[in-house]
Amino acid sequence: MNTYNPDNQRLFFDDLINCRELGGMPLTGGKVFKSGIALRSGSPSLASSKAHELLKQYGVKTVIDLRSAAEVKNYGNPFEKDEETKYVNIPLFVGDPDLKEDPTMVFLETHPMGDFYIMVLQELGKEIVEVMRVIAENNDGLILFHCAHGKDRTGIIAALLYLLAGATRENIVLNYKVSYEYAKSFLDPLIEARVENMRHTLRSDASNMEIFLDYIRDKYDMDASKYLIENGMLREEIERLKERIIN
């Protein structure tokens, strides 16, 4: 029987969008994804001004911002100038998602979000490896990685980490699809304001992660390490990352 419940990983319900501990995910061989290594969330500049301090009190000392340069410029990040925290911006979006004419946003008018996730894999492999290296090499406190709503770019990194560690496809999809539910109060007004053919970009339909995982199955035999090696990560770096995240 599957006993995984993503609700048990939730944190800071009212002060941070879709914030979760990665730890607690069951893995093959009776192992589990380690707690106290990484958190995922929406941007700490949204929802509540308390998010910054709450995360620091919780033990976050490294922040990986997956938003584009335009997003960081437009919305800021309270960790960017925090001298007590290591802040790195590794964009998994090229351009500005707030612009209707942005090529990626135009693409999404006729494509599911899962196709965007594949685009990120294909075009931003070096950036994904850079994110993985930061996680592998961190020895000081918790890491937080986030995008805007903690759903898409954050979901890609979480899925790859879980694949690498040995989580099941079923649980990776479950972990992904609850994002909309966890951010519903924030996202629903945005969905209502969007034109019909773009509302899907603010949901986390299970089919999006299925598309993503099908691609990794077909191209990499469901082995995330093959993808990371193809994009420049060394095998010893991958083993070090696995040691950090598998308990």
Active site residues: 147
Contacts of 117 (CB under 8 A, 6+ apart): 152, 155, 156, 208, 209, 211, 212
Distance CA 239, CA 16 (A): 32
Strand, helix or coil at 41?
Answer: strand
Strand, helix or coil at 232?
Answer: coil
Distance CA 84, CA 143 (A): 13
What is the helix (H) or strand (E) element at residue 244, kind and residue range? Answer: helix 235-245
Q: Which residue has the tokens 């910054």?
A: 52
Contact predicate 178/206, CB 8 Å:
no
Strand, helix or coil at 95?
Answer: coil
Distance CA 225, CA 55 (A): 30
Q: Looking at the DSSP assignment, which residues form a beta bridge with residue 60?
A: 142
Residue-by-residue DSSP string for 190-216: HHHHS-GGGGGGGS--HHHHHHHHHHH
Q: Is the torsion defined by CA of 216, 217, 219, 220 positive or negative?
A: positive
